Amino acid sequence: MNIQISNRHESADGHIKTFVENELATLQSKYEILGADVILDREGHANVQYSAEINLKVRGTTLHAKESSEDVGKSIDLVVKTLEKQLKKHRDLQTTSPELIRKAIEK
């Protein structure tokens, strides 16, 4: 899997990038992922918010999620959980669609 990590406003260091790669590797072990574009950003000055945005390329489509929190690690966790839900839904649609089509044709 090809992973492209963009870091805006110096919001992440090497440990965070390794954390992102490990989280995506975990997703890839469960789902067929072709590539990922990750954008980590720090927003605000006094009330700092970290956002994590991931675009996952899977067969047939691109899935997108963005989450924000006070901690960059928490933002990454939240966005990975959101993507895992989307991946499960996408996989279920891919596997059940041919069955539904066959049943519809038989009726």
- Would you place residue 85 in the very low, low, confident or very high pLDDT band (cuts 50, 70, 90)? very high
What is the per-residue pLDDT for 45? Answer: 80
- Element counts in the chain: helices (H) and strands (E): 2, 4
- Reported pTM: 0.83
Q: What is the pLDDT of residue 12?
A: 67
Question: What's the confidence (pLDDT) of residue 104?
Answer: 63
Task: Give the end-to-end CA distance of the chain in Å, rounded to a whole number.
Answer: 41
pLDDT at 23 over 90: yes
Assign domain 2-106 to a CATH class.
alpha beta
With 90 as the cut, is the pLDDT of residue 19 above it? yes
* In the chain, where the domains are located: 2-106
Q: Is 3 exposed, middle or buried (0-12, 13-18, 19+ CB in 10 A)?
A: middle
Instruction: State yes or no: pLDDT of 69 exceeds 90.
Output: yes
